[in-house]
Amino acid sequence: MYVDDLAALDILTEDKIIEQLQKRYEMQHIYTYIGDILLALNPFTPLGLYSQAEQKRYSGCIKSANPPHIYAIADSTYQALLHQNVSQSIIISGESGAGKTESGNLLLKQLVYLGKSLCTNGNLENRILLMNPLMEAFGNAQTGINGNSSRFGKFLELSMTKSGKVTGAKVSIYLLEQSRIVQQAENERNFHVFYYLYDGLEFSHRLEEFKLSDTLRKQHRFLTGDKQDLITKQHNINKFNELRSAFELVGFKLQEVNSIYKILAAILHLGDIQFGELITDDNTDNRSHIIDLAPLIRVSSLLDIDITETIDCLTANSVVTRGEIITRHNSMNEAAATRDALAKALYTRLCDYLVHGINTLLGSAHTMENNLVIALLDIFGFENFPHNSFEQLCINIANEQLQYYFNQHVFTWEQQEYMAEGIPVDLIEYTDNRPVLDLLLSRPMGLLALLDEESRFTRSTDRTLIEKFHANLRNKLYVRPKSNALCFGIQHFAGRVIYQVEGMLEKNRHFLAPEIIQLLRGSKLDTVRFLFQCPITKTGNLYSASPTGSGPDSPDSTKDKLSDSSTVGLASQSGLNKQPPPTSGTLSWSSYNGLYQEHLSLSDVSNLMN
Ligand SMILES: Nc1ncnc2c1ncn2[C@@H]1O[C@H](COP(=O)(O)OP(=O)(O)OP(=O)(O)O)[C@@H](O)[C@H]1O
């Protein structure tokens, strides 16, 4: 017998669960409950499950009246908000390609549908749904296992009145995979938006306006895996048109959108700037020079910055030593690193600008405070690749936190409730992952704190970093290699992952030279100037990225912590009034960088470095 809710089984072993799920999947029953949790198996093909008739069927009915469905989760969350008058949250987790983003989109669609009939502003809910194509164009990319993989974590808050009327939406993003902008692994691509832009602009004969062309297209280093077949081209054109109309309907001004395109085009040209090196006889002051000025001229023109200053900023840097400004030449590698840092800064700030623009236009500022919220958290799943770096470390720490919360919610608090009510129950044993979190996040001796400390020294290297880890992390969950290889292992809840330390310090610092910031602050293009004038929050995001000004995004905003009422599952219902777990640290993409670098004066930087 195959049940809709696995919690109804008398015997619940791993084999039984797999057998049940497999049989259900064969019958195209992709959804199964385990109590409050919904388990979704990706069918990788449309099954006609999400029509308007289905939306109606899953509105305001008891859960057991229909087969398990993602819409039922949206409905029970919505009903809980209405009846308990408490904000709710839904957490979506699973490995890459499991169907999290699709599930998130379906949940949003159904929640908006449920809140719509009461909504007076008929246009708002459509605009909220348009957030997805915008976010996916900028935050998703093709990876080895998913053609539309989200390369960031997303926290979406849908604000509602107590009577269930949708009043606005707010999105926050985490851990955008910045490294993808300048480098993509084999068979992977850069963020979708670059490909949409090229084909979309070509179709509307606007390439020249952004200094792009067919010839240049084949040369852009940042445009890897660029397929030019007719089907892909048509897909990109459609997506570009969708993006353009989403911008318009959400409420972005044409001029703002054009500035966004200019910045994207400038990033592509930036990638084409190549450096050569002039080696001095005594090998003391190796200077870089720009091999071909054409891409740099295009960048300067698109960003409306001075050409000579741009050359200077890429090929030299200044430090203040004992009150004196000393300018030294960048080596070829330093110049390339400066170029890449600029490309990453432009893109990440642009994404923040977009997010805050969306939030302002969808009315988050004035609707969030006095209303209830249904929050959706969709982060990337646990990752274990042949080569794991800083990005995987951050992603896996976030998943480790979620796992901890899941354990708390499903086991600890539930058992406490049974005991408090005097209900006899056999205590369930489970593996507590608190020790892994302590190893990673405790201060001052956890792994991230040690990484931060080492990032503060200019002379630190991959070797000094790994030695620091080996010397201080004496714990069976920390795996030290037998050789002196520059790597370490962490015994995570989901398995052991070996991380390479190469480049971790740089990624944690992702330092942007003060001269570069000054250069862009001098841009004549409003959007560019704004991106570099805006302060940075604790997590490295723009403090207030909307020129129209939605009010500051406080450094202590929800972005830095999970909602108090959240609970875990592939897609599960809210935990209502339970206490959040104690956190041993706040996860941020770069716990050291992002913080203050931008606001430091030259002398501050020099003090920091010494
Ligand atoms: N319910 C569904 N019905 C049909 N196809 C689906 C469904 N869910 C997902 N898919 C298919 O699976 C693909 C991958 O799903 P999705 O992008 O949502 O995965 P993900 O878990 O968000 O991955 P990542 O972590 O890489 O972002 C989708 O592009 C879609 O083709």
Q: Say if 411 falls within a structural domain.
A: yes
Better-scored residue on pLDDT, 146 or 560: 146
Residues composing the chain: 610
pLDDT greater than 60 at residue 599: no
Q: Say if 461 falls within a structural domain.
A: yes
Q: Which of 6-10, 117-121, 149-153, 434-438 has the lowest mean pLDDT?
A: 117-121
Give CA angle at 66 (61, 67), nearest 5°.
140
On whether the CB atoms of residues 60 and 557 are closer than 8 A, the answer is no
Residue 598 pLDDT: 28
Respond yes or no: is residue 146 known to be catalytic. Answer: yes
Q: State how many domains the chain has.
A: 1
On whether the CB atoms of residues 89 and 565 are closer than 8 A, the answer is yes
Q: How far apart are CA 125 and CA 249, in angstroms?
A: 11
Q: How far, in Å, from the CA of 479 to the mean position of ligand 1?
A: 34
Q: Which of 102-106, 236-240, 425-429 has the lowest mean pLDDT?
A: 425-429
Q: Say if 415 falls within a structural domain.
A: yes
Q: Pairing between strand 372-378 and 324-329? A: unpaired
Nearest-atom number in ligand 1 for the CA of 378 is 22
Residue 382 pLDDT: 84
| Nearest protein Cα to ligand 1, atom 9 | 99
Q: Say if 483 falls within a structural domain.
A: yes
| pLDDT digit string, tens, across residues 293-305 | 999 999 999 999 9
The residue annotated as part of the active site, out of 140, 143, 150, 565, is: 150
Q: Say if 156 falls within a structural domain.
A: no
Residue 602 pLDDT: 28
Q: How far, in Å, from the CA of 380 to the mean position of ligand 1?
A: 12
Residue 397 pLDDT: 93
| pLDDT digit string, tens, across residues 331-384 | 898 899 999 999 999 999 999 999 988 988 887 555 566 689 999 998 888 888
Q: How far apart are CA 525 and CA 545, in angstroms?
A: 15
On whether the CB atoms of residues 262 and 524 are closer than 8 A, the answer is no
pLDDT greater than 50 at residue 309: yes
Alpha-carbon torsion (457, 463, 467, 469), positive or negative = positive
Q: Say if 431 falls within a structural domain.
A: yes
Please report, for the domain that includes residue 400, its CATH number. 1.20.58.530
Neighbour-count burial of 32, counting CB atoms closer than 10 A to its CB (0-12 exposed, 13-18 middle, 19+ buried): buried
Q: How far apart are CA 316 and CA 300, in angstroms?
A: 17
The pTM assigned to this predicted structure is: 0.83
pLDDT greater than 50 at residue 592: no
Residue 512 pLDDT: 86
Where residue 558 falls among pLDDT bands split at 50, 70, 90? very low
The residue annotated as part of the active site, out of 209, 277, 383, 502, is: 383
| Nearest protein Cα to ligand 1, atom 8 | 99
Q: How far apart are CA 477 and CA 396, in angstroms?
A: 14
On whether the CB atoms of residues 447 and 473 are closer than 8 A, the answer is yes
Respond yes or no: is residue 96 known to be catalytic. Answer: yes
Respond yes or no: is residue 101 known to be catalytic. Answer: yes
Q: Say if 298 falls within a structural domain.
A: no
Instruction: Tell me what ipTM this predicted complex has.
Output: 0.99
* Three-class secondary structure of residue 558 per DSSP: helix
| pLDDT digit string, tens, across residues 28-54 | 999 999 988 999 999 999 999 999 999
Percent of the chain at pLDDT > 70 equals 85
Instruction: Count how many Cα atoms sit within 13 Å of the Cα of residue 136 in the half-sphere of its side chain.
Output: 21
Residue 596 pLDDT: 25
Respond yes or no: is residue 97 known to be catalytic. Answer: yes
| pLDDT digit string, tens, across residues 85-124 | 999 999 898 888 899 999 999 999 999 999 875 445 557 8
Residue 569 pLDDT: 30
The residue annotated as part of the active site, out of 96, 384, 412, 472, is: 96
- The residue-averaged pLDDT of 11-20 equals 90
Neighbour-count burial of 444, counting CB atoms closer than 10 A to its CB (0-12 exposed, 13-18 middle, 19+ buried): exposed
Which residue range forms the structural domain that includes residue 436?
390-501
415: tokens are 């058992």
Mutate to test the pocket of ligand 1, among 31, 41, 71, 102 (most ligand atoms within 8 A of CB): 102
Better-scored residue on pLDDT, 45 or 280: 45
| Nearest protein Cα to ligand 1, atom 25 | 96
145: tokens are 């296992």
* DSSP per residue, 207-225: TGGGT--HHHHTT-TT-TT
pLDDT greater than 80 at residue 571: no
For the CA atoms of 283, 289, 291, 292, the dihedral, rounded to the nearest 10 degrees, stands at 180
pLDDT greater than 60 at residue 591: no
Residue 604 pLDDT: 29
Q: Say if 378 falls within a structural domain.
A: no
Percent of the chain at pLDDT > 90 equals 55
Respond yes or no: is residue 301 known to be catalytic. Answer: no
Q: How far apart are the first and last CA of the chain?
A: 70
pLDDT greater than 80 at residue 217: yes
Q: How far apart are CA 113 and CA 52, in angstroms?
A: 9
Residue 208 pLDDT: 96
| pLDDT digit string, tens, across residues 179-199 | 899 988 888 999 999 999 999
Which DSSP state fits 205? Answer: T
Residue 406 pLDDT: 85
| pLDDT digit string, tens, across residues 479-508 | 999 999 999 999 999 899 999 999 899 888
Instruction: Count how many Cα atoms sit within 13 Å of the Cα of residue 155 in the half-sphere of its side chain.
Output: 15
Q: How far apart are CA 562 and CA 580, in angstroms?
A: 9
Respond yes or no: is residue 163 known to be catalytic. Answer: no
pLDDT greater than 60 at residue 285: yes
Residue 252 pLDDT: 93
Average pLDDT score, the chain? 83
List phi, psi (to 5°) of 178. Answer: -60, -35
Where residue 567 falls among pLDDT bands split at 50, 70, 90? very low
For the CA atoms of 429, 435, 436, 442, the dihedral, rounded to the nearest 10 degrees, stands at 150
- The residue-averaged pLDDT of 284-297 equals 89
Residues with CB under 6 A from ligand 1: 42-46, 94, 96-102, 146, 148-150, 380-381
Q: How far, in Å, from the CA of 68 to the mean position of ligand 1?
A: 18
